[in-house]
Amino acid sequence: MKALKIILQYLVFLGLGIGIIYYMFHNMKPEDKAAMFQSMKQTRIWIIIPVLISGFLSHWFRALRWKLMLRPLNIFPTTTNTTLAILIGYLVNLLVPRMGEVAKCTVLAKYEHVPADKMVGTVVAERAFDVLVLGIITLAAFALQSDVIGDFVNNKILSAFAAKTTLIAIVISGMIFMILLLVYVYRKYKHSKIGRFLKGMMDGVGSIWHLRNRWQFILYTILIWGMYYLQVMMGFWSLPATEHLGWLCALVVLVFGSVGMIATPGGLGAYPALVAMILGFYGLSNADGQALGWVAWSAQAIILLALGIVALVVLPIFNRKKHHAQARVDTE
């Protein structure tokens, strides 16, 4: 039943991505498609190298931040295992949205011999904190670029929000109900398997409040999002049509690109569509906007695939060598 749910979830999100791609290309004129492919041919391929480096660094900083969150739980994994687990998690996310978070906890638990349930809680807290950061960046982008995207915010986002207040109220009520239900289940079945799992999750979420190195946690967060931002800027530099775009435009693209990466598996279809839409407000043609969107998405997907596959190969080798080294130390 669980496997069927995962498959259906994947098919729904994949179908959404394919539907977006079909809609985009179906509504493009032949001359626009030709212009898009011509723009893509001008891509400066060498920029993929610094994009790869910044992409890896974002995952490395995320691993260092996750290690900080695991300390209050008396879990002290190696940086290598933590980084490789995160890379595998992102690889899984390309296939099945949201399953990568579970995968990285499972992988790290296996190789570090630590409980996975507590780590799931830290991932929930980590993601919640990232949503908060994205919210702050979004507010900053809208405030700094209100003259460019103000009409879009007023006519599209706010009107849609106003039309769906009832739905939002239902969702919030449902979330409150779920929280109360989980509290009830935990209290009633505290010593059962599900009770211990819920406690592990709560311990993980609570770990962020017990961090001794809060400023270090904030620094890693800034570095993570700084690498994401740098990748957007390098995406601009990769095409002659977008190399003139500035840092404020990159901030807006970062916001909408992040939403696109969440909406479909690995941002398939959604990322290029949102990037092209936003760049239209900055005077770019739909063809050039689509070109940048697809080039940037392709580079990110290739990097995640490459790093994820490397992590799958390196992880067992690294731990086998670590085990042999530890065994030699124990025998001496």
**Looking at the domain assignment, is residue 21 inside a domain?**
no
Report the sign of the C-alpha dihedral through residues 186, 122, 231, 297, in that order.
Answer: negative
User: Residue 220's pLDDT is what?
Assistant: 93
Confidence grade of residue 215 (pLDDT, cut at 50, 70, 90): confident
Confidence grade of residue 237 (pLDDT, cut at 50, 70, 90): very high
Instruction: Kindly tell me if the per-residue pLDDT of 155 is higher than 60.
Output: no
**Looking at the domain assignment, is residue 120 inside a domain?**
yes
Q: In sequence order, what are the residues at sequence separation of 6 or more whose Cβ sits closer than 8 angstroms to the Cβ of residue 59?
A: 83, 86, 87, 90, 307
Confidence grade of residue 151 (pLDDT, cut at 50, 70, 90): low
Tell me the DSSP string of 175-237: HHHHHHHHHHHHHHTTTSHHHHHHHHHHHHHHGGGG-S-HHHHHHHHHHHHHHHHHHHHHHHH
Q: In sequence order, what are the residues at sequence separation of 6 or more whose Cβ sits closer than 8 angstroms to the Cβ of residue 326?
A: none
User: 235: burial class by Cβ within 10 Å (0-12, 13-18, 19+)?
Assistant: buried
Return the minimum-mean-pLDDT range out of 107-116, 121-130, 156-165, 266-275: 156-165
**Looking at the domain assignment, is residue 246 inside a domain?**
yes
**Looking at the domain assignment, is residue 267 inside a domain?**
yes
**Looking at the domain assignment, is residue 3 inside a domain?**
no
Percent of residues in the chain assigned helix, strand, coil, to nearest 5: 85, 0, 15
pLDDT, tens only, 57-82: 999 999 999 999 888 888 899 999 99
**Looking at the domain assignment, is residue 35 inside a domain?**
no
**Looking at the domain assignment, is residue 57 inside a domain?**
yes
pLDDT, tens only, 74-128: 889 999 999 999 999 988 888 776 778 888 999 999 888 888 877 877 887 888 7
Report the sign of the C-alpha dihedral through residues 128, 132, 133, 134, in that order.
Answer: positive
**Looking at the domain assignment, is residue 62 inside a domain?**
yes
In angstroms, the CA 188 to CA 185 distance is 5
Tally of domains in the chain: 1
Give me the domain span that covers residue 140.
48-324
